[in-house]
């Protein structure tokens, strides 16, 4: 799943969860507040009882003012009324002249009494809302709210202060605020935690992995590997980045090998050109100085000069051929050729130059292919066969040297299998022997001659014929080269600019 879709889905789910938590938490908090306020103010009485008792209390006081005014200041009567105010979690304080009569659990302190200020005569004396600051009392850690009602007795005011203890309500507001804050923090935690996990796991960590890879490449180090189990955009970028790193490393390694092979080639060419030139120069000077003082010696010197010239010509010819093959600029003259006769002619030529009492070169053709024809450029395919055979001949190390050429029928391909009992090739070199300028062992190649182009030329020619070459080898046992050529002319796939 992509990061964008994951973030959208996570955000939508978290918003729904947050709304759900917010609504139900709000309902729970409001219910708790209402319940606590009710408990604070009216304790276990229902609202109907509170209203009824309050009206009854005021009615009795009004009646006492009219018919029994002395009861307004009677301590027993005030104590009884005070006990009846317990239903609203408060108490009753009566001021008559300089006397303060308090028979409730309210503070009996002059400082507390100083806060009880009657409403001036002529002003509203009904219940004031909580916003009326003069009716609120802050007495230490306790909070009170009072309502006063003034009666007249024998020309003096009797003030009844109905005091409500608001301490629990005040603490409740503080507690409610903390609960709301805690709820907000929980909601934020619910929202932020998954987002942080997604951002950390799907974005930050992969970007740090990518940053580490970039730092390695910046420092010239390509020997590392980036891994990502994420299947999102950044995970794919990391995997593509590692593919790019591997291809870059492979390209640089090839470039280094190519440069080394180029240096080896220059060294080899210098050696292979200098050796015959030095030899030719020596023999020419011998003729000029009269060292070759008989016709036989002169003829021998001239034969050596001729052979060395041929070697130089072959070397230059190989270089020229490979450069044209490499640029796909060499024309191919394709024609149908009888396979058996063509191969026998080439093998017999090679036999004349190479076979001896300790050397054998044998050709074995599948009977099913006796009348088989294949479409090839005869000269270039001959170069392939000769190059492979010469390569085998150069690296023999047994007392009895043997090369066998098997021609097999393999469905759409004809297989030319060149098997020798030579020195063999280490497995680590098998994948590179067809590379241009590649030589397995420098010291061994300088002794054997050659430029390291023979197998590279063979590979390019075979591929331009629509075929391919494979090789197997075991060091100390021998090597087997397999050339696969298409039987059908229609299946040929020639390179650009080679068909003339």
Note down pLDDT in tens along the chain; length 500 residues. 565 666 667 667 767 776 776 677 667 666 665 655 555 555 445 545 655 776 777 788 888 888 888 888 888 888 888 887 766 677 888 988 888 898 888 888 888 888 888 877 655 444 433 345 567 888 888 888 888 888 888 888 889 888 887 777 666 666 766 777 777 777 777 767 766 676 666 677 778 888 888 888 888 888 888 887 777 777 788 888 888 888 988 888 888 877 876 776 677 667 667 777 888 888 888 888 888 888 888 888 888 888 878 777 877 776 677 666 665 666 788 888 898 999 999 999 888 888 888 889 999 998 888 888 888 889 889 989 998 998 888 888 888 999 999 999 887 889 999 999 988 888 888 877 887 656 665 444 445 555 567 888 888 889 888 899 999 998 889 999 999 998 766 544 444 433 33
d(C-alpha 373, C-alpha 170), whole Å? 109
User: How many other CB atoms are there within 10 angstroms of residue 182's CB atom?
Assistant: 11
Identify the burial level of 222 via C-beta atoms within 10 angstroms of its C-beta, where 0-12 means exposed, 13-18 middle and 19 or more buried.
middle
d(C-alpha 316, C-alpha 479), whole Å? 28
What are 156's strand-pairing partners?
153
SS3 196: helix
pLDDT given at position 11: 67
Residue 425 sits at the vertex; the CA angle it makes with 419 and 426, to the nearest 5 degrees, is 140
E-only strand ranges, 290-347: 335-338
Residue in 185, 230, 238 with CA at minimum distance from that of residue 209: 238
Residue in 401, 419, 411 with CA at minimum distance from that of residue 471: 419
Residues shown for the chain:
500
Tokens for 57, please give them: 């209390």
pLDDT given at position 385: 92
Identify the sign of the CA torsion 369, 371, 377, 381: positive
d(C-alpha 11, C-alpha 3), whole Å? 12
Contact yes or no for 423/394 (Cβ under 8 A): no
d(C-alpha 259, C-alpha 437), whole Å? 10
What's 491's DSSP letter? G
User: What's phi and psi for 315, nearest 5 deg?
Assistant: -60, -50
Residue 493: which region, alpha, beta or left (left: phi > 0; alpha: psi -120 to 50)? beta
What's 224's DSSP letter? -
User: What is the distance, to the nearest Å, from the Cα of residue 68 to the centroid of all Cα atoms in its chain?
Assistant: 94
Residue in 472, 488, 490, 346 with CA at minimum distance from that of residue 413: 488
d(C-alpha 268, C-alpha 446), whole Å? 7
d(C-alpha 486, C-alpha 411), whole Å? 9
What are 478's strand-pairing partners?
474
pLDDT given at position 345: 92
**Average pLDDT for the chain:** 78
- Residues 6 or more apart whose Cβ sits within 8 Å of residue 395: 422, 423, 444, 448
d(C-alpha 3, C-alpha 9), whole Å? 10
Find tokens 């796991």 and name the residue. Answer: 201
Residue in 4, 442, 58, 393 with CA at minimum distance from that of residue 234: 4
Element (H, E) at 409: strand 401-410
d(C-alpha 124, C-alpha 122), whole Å? 7
Contact yes or no for 455/387 (Cβ under 8 A): yes
pLDDT given at position 384: 92
pLDDT given at position 450: 56
d(C-alpha 195, C-alpha 10), whole Å? 8
pLDDT given at position 397: 85
């Amino acid at each position: 799943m992509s990061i964008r879709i994951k973030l959208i889905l996570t955000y939508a789910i978290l918003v729904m969860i947050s709304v759900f938590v917010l609504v139900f938490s709000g309902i729970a908090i409001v219910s708790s507040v209402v319940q606590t306020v009710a408990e604070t103010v009216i304790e276990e009485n229902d609202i109907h009882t509170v209203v009824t008792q309050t009206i009854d209390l005021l009615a009795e006081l009004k009646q006492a003012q009219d018919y029994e005014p002395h009861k307004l200041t009677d301590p027993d009567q005030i104590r009884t009324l005070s006990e009846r105010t317990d239903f609203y979690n408060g108490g009753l304080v009566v001021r008559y002249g300089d006397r303060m009569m308090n028979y409730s659990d309210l503070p009996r302190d002059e400082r507390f009494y100083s806060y009880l200020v009657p409403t001036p005569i002529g002003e509203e004396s009904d219940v004031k809302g909580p916003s009326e600051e003069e009716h609120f009392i802050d007495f230490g850690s306790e909070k009170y709210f009072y309502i006063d009602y003034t009666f007249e007795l024998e020309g003096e005011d009797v003030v009844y202060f109905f005091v409500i203890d608001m301490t629990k309500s005040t603490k409740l507001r503080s507690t409610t605020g903390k609960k709301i804050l805690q709820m907000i923090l929980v909601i934020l935690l619910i929202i932020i935690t998954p987002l942080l996990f997604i951002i950390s796991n799907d974005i930050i960590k992969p970007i740090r992995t990518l940053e580490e890879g970039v730092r390695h490449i910046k420092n010239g180090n390509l020997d590392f590997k980036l891994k990502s189990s994420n299947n999102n955009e950044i995970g794919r970028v990391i995997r593509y980045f590692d593919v790019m790193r591997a291809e870059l490393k492979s390209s640089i390694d090839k470039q280094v090998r190519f440069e080394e092979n180029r240096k080896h080639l220059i060294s080899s060419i210098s050696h292979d050109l200098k050796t015959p030139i030095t030899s030719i120069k020596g023999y020419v000077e011998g003729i000029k100085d009269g060292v070759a003082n008989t016709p036989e010696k002169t003829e021998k010197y001239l034969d050596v000069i001729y052979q060395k010239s041929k070697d130089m010509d072959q070397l230059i010819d190989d270089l020229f051929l490979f450069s044209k093959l490499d640029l796909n600029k060499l024309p191919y003259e394709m024609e149908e050729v009888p396979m058996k006769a063509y191969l026998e002619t080439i093998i017999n030529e090679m036999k004349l130059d190479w076979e001896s009492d300790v050397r054998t070169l044998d050709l074995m053709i599948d009977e099913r292919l006796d009348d088989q024809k294949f479409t090839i450029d005869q000269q270039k395919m001959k170069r392939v066969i000769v190059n492979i055979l010469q390569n085998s001949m150069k690296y023999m190390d047994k007392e009895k040297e043997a090369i066998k050429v098997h021609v097999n029928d393999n469905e759409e391909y004809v297989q030319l299998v060149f098997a020798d009992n030579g020195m063999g090739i280490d497995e680590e070199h098998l994948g590179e022997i067809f590379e241009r300028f590649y030589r397995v062992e420098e010291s061994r190649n300088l002794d054997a001659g050659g430029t390291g182009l023979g197998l590279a030329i063979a590979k390019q020619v075979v591929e331009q014929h629509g075929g391919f070459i494979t090789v197997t080898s075991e060091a100390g046992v021998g090597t087997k080269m397999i050339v696969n050529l298409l039987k059908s002319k229609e299946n040929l796939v020639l390179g650009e600019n080679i068909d003339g």
